[in-house]
Amino acid sequence: MELFGIAEIFKARFFEMSGTALISDDIYHLTSADITEAIRVFKSKGFYRKTKFGDSVIDRMQFVEAFELPQQITHSDKFSAFLRQFEPDLLRKSQDVLVPVTLEYEFPGHTTPLISEVIANKENIKQFLGYFKIFLSTKKLFHRELPDSEQFRFEEIHTYIQNNQLQIKHTPWIPLPICLQIINSSVDWVLNKGEAIISAMVDAFDTLHNEGLLVIEKPFTNLYKKREIVVENVLHRHRKKIEIGSFDYSVRDVKSFRSNPPLTYLIDVLQGACFIIIASMKPIRVNELSSLKYDCLYFKDNDGFWLMQDIEKSGIRGILPEDAKPIPRVAARAILLLQEMNKHARKHVPSKKEEQYLLYGINYGFDWRSASIADHEFIRSRLSYFCDHVEVPLDEYGRRWYVNTHELRKSFLLNFFWTFKFSSLDSARWMAGHTNPDHIFEYIQDNFEGQEMVEVESEYAYQQLRLFKDGNNLSDVSNIEDVYDEVCNQFKVNSISEIKEDELKQWLEIQIESGHFEVTVFGIENVDEGIKVDIAIKIS
């Protein structure tokens, strides 16, 4: 809101509107007297509306029109942080978190910013470009003083900014306790509850279909009453295997559904569990998950299950390669459950083109006569439903970690590397579908704290030196002999066995932290084997 004097515009318009001058210099930290007066004026002007949760909030569009502010500002977190001063209902929910006006899930998500952070953040160059476009749109007020906006190639500028600006946000690494809770709960749903839930849904749905009770009629009362009677008899048969409260619901109430869940809600949560298991056991992007084919799973004798997928980023000349990766049995079980849902959709809503995709399914609880392929938004919502249902613990500000596929992908790769260190780079590259190991190593370096990476690299260097000393030819480092000689010369010994372990490790940490030693990863092209990993320790 600092750009182009919007704060001054607000103060001036407020004075015109109320006859009262705001005394605060900082628009984000108004005095209590200013806030009280502003709320009084805004109420008298009818700026407030009620949300579906009963909270009184400022109508953004009405506010913007009244104060003659650009509409695009309504998308700004800073604008929301400013207005939050006049929304006591939302402040009662959290003084710290910029709680969304309409809360999508049970709690604010882990990416919901803190009000203090939003206020302190510098303006992004992309936001500046947006404001600049707005400024140029006022040309009619200034005639010749402003150039035509057509003279600026905004699309090219936007693309350049997107490709070249400093990216300060990284996909967060899921805290290990949360990651383990989510995966353990997902395993329980997939192995112990999945089959019973799908069996109950198929039975109930098919019975209602045969009775002609899935059609939509107006008024709904008679249809719903008859549907409840028929479906209750069906659900009764399945309650010995799975706890089911009712068949369907109109308003999602997670608190009551945890103990008395509708069947359509259980399907939603089960889908979330399946997505979590697949994405946590095999690094996969959300578009790759949505694009999985129905027959993506196959079993190899004396080996195990493999997942075939289209790799999103490693194509040559725009052609996406297919790639098979090993997956554990529980991930295969999740895919088999999704295949069962696909089969049910094929039975009632056949589609030769769409049913080829694994995530083709009936829109249970919405339009009973339609089916579609789960898209990005569908996958995101089911993952969040699952996190709410299993009650992922809140952070100190009352935010819940609503996991997404990219975070699961990242956690797999970083945990894989942390466990097996540099010897796992080629395997991690292969599992992630990257062409070049350099990319994986850069990704890992970007996501480890500096000191953590120094510890990993020094421990790795120590292990490689020990392998070389023992005459073991399994060392990954191509120039390990040069490194070994460098160490012996520095300590004036003939063998590193003459150096105390702690002393050598500490020395290696110092060399890596100072830049004297640098672990580097290369992707070396090989005619027979494609790209191989070559690791060296550069000595400067």
The CA–CA distances, whole Å, from 365 to 247, 362, 369 equal 9, 9, 10
Rounded to an integer, the average pLDDT of 449-455 is 61
Kindly state whether residues 317 and 250 are assigned to the same domain.
Answer: yes
Residue 21 lies in a domain: yes
Side chain identity, residue 119: I
Which of 373, 389, 405 is the last residue before a domain boundary? 389
Domain that holds residue 258: 176-389
- Model confidence band, residue 4 (pLDDT cutoffs 50, 70, 90): very low
Kindly state whether residues 117 and 209 are assigned to the same domain.
Answer: no
Burial 227-250 (b: 16+ CB within 10 A, else e): beebbeebbeebeeebebbbbbbe
CA-nearest of 404, 169, 366, 204 to 286 is 404
pLDDT at 75: 84
> In this structure, what token pair is assigned to residue 66?
């009244």
DSSP letter string, 385-427:
HHHHHTTPPB-TTS-B----HHHHHHHHHHHHHHHHGGGGHHH
Query: 369 phi and psi, to 5 degrees?
Result: -95, 5
Rounded to an integer, the average pLDDT of 381-390 is 97
pLDDT tens for 369-381 read 789 999 999 999 9
Beta bridge partners of 520: 536
pLDDT tens for 100-112 read 998 999 999 999 9
pLDDT at 69: 84
Kindly state whether residues 234 and 359 are assigned to the same domain.
Answer: yes
Residue 257 lies in a domain: yes
Q: Are 56 and 48 in contact (CB under 8 A)?
A: yes
pLDDT at 318: 41
Kindly state whether residues 518 and 456 are assigned to the same domain.
Answer: yes
First to last CA, the chain: 49
Which of 346, 362, 389 is the last residue before a domain boundary? 389
Rounded to an integer, the average pLDDT of 166-189 is 79
Kindly state whether residues 78 and 213 are assigned to the same domain.
Answer: no
pLDDT at 284: 87
Average pLDDT, the chain: 82
Residue 244 lies in a domain: yes
Kindly state whether residues 256 and 345 are assigned to the same domain.
Answer: yes
Residue with tokens 């359509």: 264
Which of 124, 148, 163 is the last residue before a domain boundary? 124
Residue 322 lies in a domain: yes
Kindly state whether residues 479 and 368 are assigned to the same domain.
Answer: no
Kindly state whether residues 383 and 474 are assigned to the same domain.
Answer: no
Residue 525 has pLDDT above 60, yes or no: no
CA-nearest of 262, 154, 256, 153 to 200 is 262
> In this structure, what token pair is assigned to residue 153?
């190639």
- Model confidence band, residue 265 (pLDDT cutoffs 50, 70, 90): very high
pLDDT at 509: 86
For residues 329 and 164, the model is more confident at 329
Residue 395 lies in a domain: no
pLDDT tens for 395-411 read 999 999 999 998 888 77
Say how many domains are in the chain.
3
Rounded to an integer, the average pLDDT of 320-334 is 81
Please state, as a whole number, how many other Cβ atoms lie within 10 Å of the Cβ of residue 176. Answer: 10
Residue 494 lies in a domain: yes
Most confident of the following: 116-125, 145-154, 178-187, 516-525 = 178-187
Kindly state whether residues 195 and 79 are assigned to the same domain.
Answer: no
Residue 279 lies in a domain: yes
pLDDT tens for 222-246 read 777 888 889 999 999 999 999 999 9
Residue 521 has pLDDT above 90, yes or no: no
Residue 396 lies in a domain: no
Q: Are 428 and 416 in contact (CB under 8 A)?
A: yes
Task: Count how many residues are written for the chain.
Answer: 540
Kindly state whether residues 223 and 333 are assigned to the same domain.
Answer: yes
For residues 76 and 373, the model is more confident at 373
Kindly state whether residues 373 and 261 are assigned to the same domain.
Answer: yes
pLDDT at 320: 40
pLDDT at 321: 44
pTM: 0.74
pLDDT tens for 457-499 read 777 788 788 878 877 666 777 788 888 999 999 999 999 989 9
For residues 162 and 188, the model is more confident at 188
Most confident of the following: 95-99, 247-251, 521-525 = 95-99
Angle at which helices 501-514 and 450-469 cross, to 10°: 130
Q: Are 312 and 285 in contact (CB under 8 A)?
A: yes
Q: Which of 36-40, 151-155, 211-215 has the lowest mean pLDDT?
A: 151-155
Query: 298 phi and psi, to 5 degrees?
Result: -145, 155
Kindly state whether residues 332 and 470 are assigned to the same domain.
Answer: no
